[in-house]
Chains A and B, each alone.
Chain A
């Protein structure tokens, strides 16, 4: 299993970077003398591990948290936090270039200072790292142990030779980028989320392989910084799990930004000539070669399950799907649970967080909370953003549920018009003949914020009829959801009901 440590990062060691490292893996750290037996040992200090450790310690459990690299995991160090920071700057550049669309002047000299972009990102990352710091954990009573964990039995493990005993354990080892098997890629060198945020210079020409969330977000951001960007996706659409229209709008947005879109295209070979990377692409019967300065892969993630000696603990796992768990997130060893990317299909920070809370309840108390009971939203932070919660229509059809979708294009929403952010839609799926929300997809500049209202409605069992009664502040883009609910109300006015109403009102005339 590949490991990273502080020294593997090539990011400039500025003040912010020094603060982050001090927070998430201080130099000269000495692991505490282990307790005789821990109530809970958590392996992995990413989102799931941190949430579990804090929650268990707050409840009075004696907790050890083991991390082989950096506290905060991918989300803080090489994932959500740094990517959102640079996406914000890339949006600003895009808006500057389209200033005339907003009745403003385009600044005379739009010069991208990439090092300033990354410096800002490092500052934000350092600030947010305070919440995940060693000090906060130790103050909370958690024993923080840096090193590599290996199970030695069903109730014991070692960290670099030191034995820890536990009553319960949580495996929260996360995931890592999947590496596509393209001949020549390793020799040529490539970027993933693990090292792309260490860049100090903007690649002049960038090939992004993979049209998943990470590939899409970073392709658009780097294009907006000025990289001549090509994105190659082996499927006919981006984000293949999302609605077709969402993917189509994203393709259009990419084209507008200047990203060269190569759908239905596979990279089959990489070689280096004259200091540039030459990548052979194949699309059906069409072959081409592109010359780039950097290659970023975003073709999915694989769970970190190797090197843990899971066999010694009797924990079943699969190299592709991760730790095998039941609906209570319990592994084949009744003492050991799993949470986060190491065991979940939906590899998001918020699902890692939610799964960790379930695990703490189920592991420390006679809890029977189920993973399947969660309503999980997600969002891809492109511009526009693409957010989803609940069932897709095809999933509903597969379950033989008849679906009706209430669609509001953002060009029907006053605030979106005023903001010049009309690309996108709100689609809310309800069970035919009812107002029960099965799921929703939102494509909008701030879809990630908007989807939370739908998630709340689903969790609380609120239907479209009730949402129609909720006053939404005007003008807001969230009003699109109210409009969808209003459309539902109007759709209930059948000709028969309209006739009754007309007769009733005529009686008042």
Chain B
């Protein structure tokens, strides 16, 4: 029971959820190259960001006894060998360019598909996962030494400074057909981990003032009586936190605001609850124990309407979109995984919310794995909410890592010892907390090989 007397999710349930999430990486892998499918839908390509989560997931599985260390090392080695040997020519059919990788790759050949962009943020998640593996697999065995060497080679060959393209901040995508993409990525977003890795590079770092140029686009807002660094979709407040422990460490911006990014994510959780409590559009299901607006799949305009209650009220459906609060887009679609991924920030609230959402909308989970989203406003004849088809790898990854960080801080501990992360954070101006302490467990596996 929680302090409010409402039932919360138990430790045993968390364990089950974690294991179910981890099973995605066993189901969706191509064992020949280590690539992981973006979703369980037919003909899904691999997503390099999901591969990053997989590389972080194997150490968790070893610690929890779901996988042998030998198996985990073998899977990790297969994966990083593939990326090491991949075509880096930057041609339209290659796998990557300048150390970065295309967002979506063919599961078999590893070549670019869907004319996808060379993705800086997804490459950062891939490398964060690889560095997690290098930190964990620190034995002096032939395989683990090779794993560490390849990971650092992958990191060292990334030309982070190229992504600036002469601008103040990192460009988020590039295509061989048209060069850098013009996304207009201003404001707080999930890319702190990208900036940290770019700053920490021993070979092609970006300058420290690039991070400050990015933080100059932040907006510190008082919304619903919470002071916080504003961003609408919940995933923005979570993804960098999967790898980096932001408790007590502060950059210049957060020092000025007497806050830190971890506390900020807690407040973002509260803002989501406040929005759901207000429920300005009157969607079904929303309340302070049922929320989670984030980037996710969702019903689209083309989809046949599955219920009749809203037949005479025009509603727009957004399909896959970055839903957020308080300005939307909001079409009544929520993500259970997004609520759970805030577990480390606000455990009492999230455990209660996760329990409520599971009890009310069991269709939100498929065999204990969270679907991308559900929409109670579009309920079907059997009163069950509309649910997104299949499973998404990113959702499983963030659930697995954030529950683990809540339970044991495993990923955070590994990355606190990771030299590129420590260096990058320092160059970004982060001070205090664990950064100011000398980590006893920093081992040579994390040193930059010369």
A404 — which chain B residues lie within 8 A by C-beta? Answer: 220-222, 227
A409 and B280 contacting across the interface, CB-CB below 8 Å: yes
Q: Would A236 and B217 be within 8 Å (CB), given that A100-B312, A256-B316, A404-B227 are in contact?
A: no
The answer, among A235, A245, A403, A488, for a CB contact under 8 Å with B184, is A235
CB distance A236 to B316 under 8 Å?
no
Stretch in contact with the other chain, from B175-183, B262-270, B333-341: B175-183
Q: Is the CB of A285 within 8 A of B223?
A: no
| Complex partner residue of B278 from A245, A405, A411, CB under 8 angstroms | A411
Q: Is the CB of B327 within 8 A of A405?
A: no
Considering only CB atoms, which chain B residue lies closest to A398 in the complex? B216
Answer whether residue A393 sits at the interface, using C-beta atoms and an 8 A cutoff.
yes
- Complex contact A236–B221 (CB within 8 A): no
User: Do A394 and B217 form a contact, CB below 8 Å, given A245-B327, A284-B181?
Assistant: yes
Q: Is B186 an interface residue (CB 8 A)?
A: yes
Whole-angstrom CA separation of A264 from B185 in the bound complex: 13
Closest Cβ of chain B to A395, distance in Å, is: 10
Residues of A within 8 A of B227 (CB): 404, 491
* B206-239 contacts to A (CB < 8 Å): 216-223, 225, 227, 230, 232
With A236-B183, A252-B328 as known contacts, state yes or no: A427 contacts B221, CB within 8 Å.
yes
Q: Which residues of B contact A498 (CB under 8 A)?
A: none
Report the minimal beta-carbon distance from A117 to chain B, rounded to whole angstroms: 24
Q: How far, in whole Å, are A411 and B286 apart by their CA atoms in the complex?
A: 15
**Quick check: A255 and B219 within 8 Å, CB to CB?**
no
Closest to A234 in B: B182
Given the known interface contacts A393-B219, A397-B216, the answer about A244 and B186 at a Cβ–Cβ threshold of 8 Å is yes
B256 contacts chain A at the CB level, 8 A cutoff: yes
Does A487 contact B280, Cβ atoms closer than 8 Å? no
CB distance from A427 to the nearest CB of B (A): 7
Indicate if A402 sits at the interface (CB-CB under 8 A): yes
Q: Is the CB of A405 within 8 A of B177?
A: no
Chain B: minimal CB distance from A372 (Å) = 23
Bin chain B's interface residue count.
20 to 34
Residue A85 at the B interface, CB < 8 A?
Answer: no
Contact indicator B327/A285 (Cβ below 8 Å)? no
Size band of the A side of the interface? Answer: 35 or more
Q: Which residues of A contact B225 (CB under 8 A)?
A: 487, 490-491
Within 8 A of A (CB), among B275-309: 278, 280
A285-B178, A393-B219, A411-B280 are contacts. A237–B313 as well, Cβ < 8 Å? no
Give the Cβ gap from A240 to chain B, nearest Cβ, in Å: 8
Nearest chain B CB to A220 CB, angstrom units: 16
**Residues of A contacting B347 in the complex (Cβ-Cβ under 8 angstroms):** none
B-side contacts of A256, CB under 8 Å: 316
* B329 located at the interface, meaning its Cβ lies under 8 Å from any Cβ of chain A in the complex: yes
Interface mask (B155-186 → A, CB under 8 Å = 1, otherwise 0): 00000000000000000000101100111101
Chain B: CB-nearest residue to A263: B184
Main secondary structure of the interface of B (DSSP, over half): loop
- Candidates A255, A394, A425; contact of B327 at CB < 8 Å: A425
Contact A487 B175 (CB under 8 A): no
Closest chain A CB from B448 CB (angstroms): 33
CB distance from A50 to the nearest CB of B (A): 39
Q: Decide: A101 and B327 in contact? CB cutoff 8 A.
A: no
Q: For residue B215, which residue of chain A has the nearest CB?
A: A397
Is A128 part of the contact surface with B, judged by Cβ < 8 Å?
A: no
Question: Is B344 interfacial (CB-CB < 8 Å)?
Answer: no
Task: Indicate whether B31 reaches chain A with its CB closer than 8 angstroms.
Answer: no
Q: Closest residue to B314 on the A side, CB-wise?
A: A98
What is the CA–CA distance of A491 and B228 in the complex, to the nearest angstrom? 12
Contacts of B256 in A (CB 8 A): 402, 432
Does A455 sit within 8 A of B, measured CB to CB? no
Cβ B184 vs Cβ A491 within 8 A: no
Bound together, the chains give a CA A248 to CA B230 distance in angstroms of 15
Find chain A residues with CB under 8 A from B280 CB: 409, 411, 422
B360 at the interface (CB under 8 A from A): no
Closest to B115 in A: A285
Within 8 A of B (CB), among A240-268: 244-245, 248-249, 252, 255-256, 264
Residues of chain A within 8 A (CB-CB) of B221 are 404-407, 427
> Counting CB contacts under 8 A, is A412 at the interface?
yes
Q: Is B110 an interface residue (CB 8 A)?
A: no
Min Cβ gap B252→A in Å is: 10
- B187, CB-defined interface residue at 8 Å: yes
**Shortest Cβ gap from A170 to chain B (Å):** 39
What is the CA–CA distance of A407 and B224 in the complex, to the nearest angstrom?
8
**Interface mask (B386-399 → A, CB under 8 Å = 1, otherwise 0):** 00000000000000
Cβ contacts A379-419/B at 8 Å (1 or 0 each): 00000000000000110011000111111010110000000
* A264 interface neighbour in B182, B278, B326, Cβ under 8 Å: B182
Cβ of B236 to closest chain A Cβ, rounded Å: 13
A284 and chain B: residue at smallest CB distance: B178
> Which chain B residues lie closer than 8 Å to A407 at the CB level?
221-223, 230
Query: Of B177, B219, B327, which one neighbours A409 at CB under 8 angstroms?
Result: B327
6 cross-chain pairs, A with B, having the tightest CB-CB distances, nearest first: A236-B184, A285-B177, A411-B280, A397-B216, A285-B178, A405-B221
A residues whose Cβ falls under 8 Å from a Cβ of B: 98, 100-101, 235-237, 244-245, 248-249, 252, 255-256, 264, 284-285, 393-394, 397-398, 402-407, 409, 411-412, 422, 425, 427, 432, 487-488, 490-491
Give chain B's interface residues, CB within 8 Å of chain A: 115, 175, 177-178, 181-184, 186-187, 216-223, 225, 227, 230, 232, 256-257, 278, 280, 312-314, 316, 326-329
Apart from the given pairs A407-B223, A411-B326, 8 other A-B contacts in the complex at a CB distance below 8 Å: A100-B312, A285-B178, A402-B256, A404-B221, A409-B223, A411-B278, A411-B280, A432-B220
Supply 9 A–B pairs (Cβ within 8 Å), ascending by A. A236-B183, A264-B184, A397-B217, A405-B219, A405-B230, A406-B221, A407-B221, A425-B327, A427-B221
